[in-house]
Structure 1
Amino acid sequence: MSVTVRPAQVFDAGFAAPLIQQTIGAIGQALTGSASDDEAAHVIAQFFPLRGHRLSFTQTLIAELDGRPAGLAVLYPGEFAVPLDQPFRDFLKSRGLPDQVVSEGLPGELYLDTLATLPDVRGQGVGTALLRACSEKARQQSLPLGLLVEEGNPAQRLYVRHGFVAAGQTQLAGHRYLRLRQPLPEL
């Protein structure tokens, strides 16, 4: 089995949106003002082909296993977190909802917003390939790679295996998250 990682394209919306929502759950519902995962995934699918926001195809990598999409990673420089969240604030406001979106990425890091694989490919190297591609992008930008993981999420083990260390905690959408950071390698 061969895993390749490529930049996402507009046509990946149908694959990416439900997988993103399955992974971010309550955050996706809060970000889209949706009452269900299906509704949130629908809104994310509408946003995905557009540029200039945090869940855009331009911020996404797609992992393929034997030529079919099997996972994804969404990442962006933390210094752009607030402007990348503005389209969601505007969307919420247009629906008459509070436009309170907490920006997750921090200045001085490449923020890994979402890392997800299809359930049937877990344990086949897809998550590792995506994480390596993200780490390489961070290295190219001379930034540590940062992320949030919900407490108790088994994915935390993958991050620790790849050199991530604890860097704090935060609350988002009523859930508690650990902030992890993968330092830049010493040269």
Structure 2
Amino acid sequence: MLCRYPGEVTDVLIRPARPFDAAFAVPLIQATIGRIGYALTGVTDDVAAERTLLGFYPLRGNRLSFEHQFIAQSPTGEPLGLILAYPGEHAEALDDPFRERLHALGLPGRIESEGTPGELYVDTLAVTEAARGQGIGARLLDAAVERAATLGLHQVGLLVEDGNPAARLYARKGFRPAGTRALAGGTYTHLVRDVG
């Protein structure tokens, strides 16, 4: 069943991310994850966090790698948004490169892994400000559900902070609360959606 919402764009391409998407993706990711980016990189401002994350983006085997992302783009190739998702059971290992960085900086390497085994964990969903309200976030969530099914996972999960307007989208796409988590100084609701 195809669902359309007012203002929805119908000709968006969802494609796997590539290393050269870093200049688009990294600032959008950092703007979305904020203090979590600081916790991962050991810095305290967006510019320094972005600089560090640019180094991780083209590398495989870390949570913010291009290999875990899909990019939404217009027919002309303009990037509009992204979704970053990976199997929850890999969360701990995907954070190891960030732990190593923190240790190298002389900082505690404590990073709370976010994913839950058995789910495809949506680490980040972000749409450019100009493209919001056009159904792109919904399309990216659909891509995550398809990815979960391809991997044989039965749930898609994510964390949402209280007051985040994206919670309405998640509810509309079938996500339901499954508990709360403390993370990087904030409290988040764990939402899940069954696949199938």
TM-score (ref. length: structure 1): 0.96
Q: So what's the TM-score if we normalise by structure 2? A: 0.92
Does residue 131 (structure 1) correspond to residue 138 (structure 2)? The answer is no
Aligned counterparts of 1:45 and 1:33: Cα–Cα separation in 2? 14
Query: Which runs of 4 or more aligned residues in structure 1 lie more than 6 Å from their structure 2 counterparts after TM superposition?
Result: none
1:47 equivalent in structure 2: 56
For 1:38 and 1:126, how far apart are their aligned partners in 2? 26
SS in 2 for 1:153: coil
Q: How far 1:184 sits from its partner (Å)?
A: 2.2
Q: Which residue is 2:167 aligned to?
A: 156
Q: Deviations over 1:29-67 (max 9, x none)?
A: 111111101111111111000010000000111110232
Structure 2: distance between partners of 1:73 and 1:134: 8
Match for residue 93 of structure 1 among 67, 82, 103:
103
Q: Secondary structure at the match of 1:84?
A: helix
Give the AA of the match of 2:142. R
Contact 1:4 1:129 in 2 (8 A): no
Asked if 1:62 is matched to 2:79, the reply is no
SS of alignment partner, residue 48 of structure 2: helix
Q: Which runs of 5+ in 2 are unaligned?
A: 1-8
Amino acid in the other structure paired with 1:172: L
**Residue in 1 that maps onto 2:4:** none
The answer as to whether partners of 1:142 and 1:184 remain within 8 angstroms in 2 is: no
Residue 50 of structure 2 aligns with an amino acid whose one-letter code is A
Equivalent-residue separation in structure 2 for 1:44 and 1:71 (angstroms): 17
Report SS of the residue matched to 1:168. strand
Task: Give the secondary-structure state (helix, strand or coil) at the position aligned to 2:13.
Answer: strand
Secondary structure in 1 aligned to 2:79?
A: strand
Q: Secondary structure at the match of 2:113?
A: coil
- Which residue number corresponds to residue 84 of structure 1? 94
Of the structure 1 ranges 101-110 and 65-74, higher mean CA displacement relative to structure 2 is found in: 65-74
Q: How big is the shift at 1:138?
A: 1.3
| Distance (Å, rounded) in 1 between the aligned partners of 2:108 and 2:144 | 33
Cα distance in 2, alignment partners of residues 149 and 128 from structure 1: 15
Deviation at 1:141, TM superposition (A): 2.3
Count residues in correspondence. Answer: 185
